[in-house]
Amino acid sequence: MMTTSHRARLWRPALAVAAAIAVTAGVVAAAPDAKKQQSTPKLSLIAASTSVTLTSWKEDPGVYLDLGTYLTAENAPFEFKVTRKSYKDPVVAQQVIREGKTVRTKTLPKGLVKDFSGLPDFVEVTITDAAGKKVLSKSEAFCPNNASGRIRPDAPAQSKYPQSCPVNPFTLGSVWGVENGWASNTYAGYYSAPVKLKAGKYTAKVSVAKRYRDLFGIADKPQTVKVTVREQSMEGPGGSGGAAKHGAHAAGHSGHGAMRMPAPAAATSGAGPSYNVGHGPYTPAPPALPWALKKAGLRAADLGDRSGQTDGSRKAPAEKANAKRPTGRATVPDVPKPDLRSLPAYGITISDGGNDVPGKDYLAFSANVWNAGPAKLVVDGFRSPGKKLMDAYQYFYDAKGKQVGYTPTGTMEWDPRPGHEHWHFTDFASYRLLKADKKEAVRSGKEAFCLANTDAVDYTVKNANWSPDNTDLSTACGQENSISVREVLDVGSGDTYSQDLPGQSFDITSLPNGTYYIQVLANPEKRLKETNLNNNSALRKVVLGGRPGARTVTVPAHDLVNAN
| DSSP secondary structure letters along 488-509 | EE-TTEEEEE-TTSTTSEEE-T
DSSP state of 36: G
Please report the pLDDT score of residue 411 as a whole number: 85
Please report the pLDDT score of residue 203 as a whole number: 98
Specify whether the CB–CB gap between 352 and 508 falls below 8 A: no
Q: How many CA atoms lie within 13 A of 116 on its CB side?
A: 27
Please report the pLDDT score of residue 385 as a whole number: 78
Please report the pLDDT score of residue 324 as a whole number: 76
Give 500-528 pLDDT, tens digit per residue: 555 568 889 999 999 999 999 999 889 99
Taking Cα atoms as reference points, which of 186, 204, 206 lies closest to residue 70?
A: 186
DSSP state of 93: E
Element (H, E) at 213: helix 210-216
> Running along the chain, 564 residues long, what does each successive block of 10 average in pLDDT?
46 26 36 52 94 83 87 95 96 92 93 94 96 95 87 88 88 95 86 86 98 97 96 62 32 37 31 26 33 36 32 40 75 93 92 72 89 92 82 90 90 71 77 93 70 88 85 57 83 78 75 96 92 95 93 95 87
Instruction: Give CA–CA dist 539/516, Å, rounded.
Output: 10
Q: How many CA atoms lie within 13 A of 182 on its CB side?
A: 28
Please report the pLDDT score of residue 56 as a whole number: 86
Element (H, E) at 243: helix 240-243
Please report the pLDDT score of residue 528 as a whole number: 93
Please report the pLDDT score of residue 425 as a whole number: 80
DSSP state of 210: H
Instruction: Give CA–CA dist 155/211, Å, rounded.
Output: 29
Specify whether the CB–CB gap between 276 and 282 falls below 8 A: yes
| Concatenated DSSP letters of 366-406 | EEEEEE--SS-EEEEEEE-TT-SEEEEEEEEE-TTS-EEEE
Burial class (CB in 10 A: 0-12, 13-18, 19+), 546: middle
Q: Which residues contact 19 (CB under 8 A, 6 or more apart)?
A: 52, 53, 54, 66, 68, 265, 266, 268, 269
- pTM for this prediction: 0.78
Specify whether the CB–CB gap between 343 and 168 falls below 8 A: yes
3-class state of residue 514 by DSSP: strand
